[in-house]
Amino acid sequence: TLVVTEGFGTINMAGKTFAYLKENEGRRVSVNGATQVRAGVIRPEIVIPIENAAVDVCETPLEPSLNVGDLVRCIRTPYFGRIGRVVSLPHELRQMESGALVRILEVRFENEEICMLPRANIERIEEK
């Protein structure tokens, strides 16, 4: 796998990026080459584990990223682009047509239709 950061032609790679990669030359890394440029942008990643690092444990539980009532947009077909509100967030995994077991949510769309969707297929819309 090849991950291109920047530095095409006469344009140099960012100094901090180059220094960080050079500093970690020869170490084992993981590469995730997934890319998505539409809603819910995903960029390739290079993950370099920190050896012998102390890990802080968070005593307080993190707030869930989704709550009942949140405004969301679907980012996959067949509901791509549709907007609705979260009606429920069941804890149990559900089996999709593909056979995958995933966390789901129920969304009520603007036309009052309620659908069950994988949580990975939506993005939360921040309301101000």
* pTM, two decimal places: 0.50
Q: At 19, which amino acid appears?
A: A
Express each pLDDT in 68-101 by its tens digit.
Answer: 999 898 888 888 888 999 999 998 999 888 788 8
Q: How many CB atoms lie within 10 A of CB 122?
A: 24
Rounded distance, CA 100 to CA 95, Å? 6
- Where do we find the tokens 């102390």? 54
CA distances from 71 to 38, 99, 101, 123 (A): 18, 28, 24, 9
Q: What percent of the chain has pLDDT over 70?
A: 80
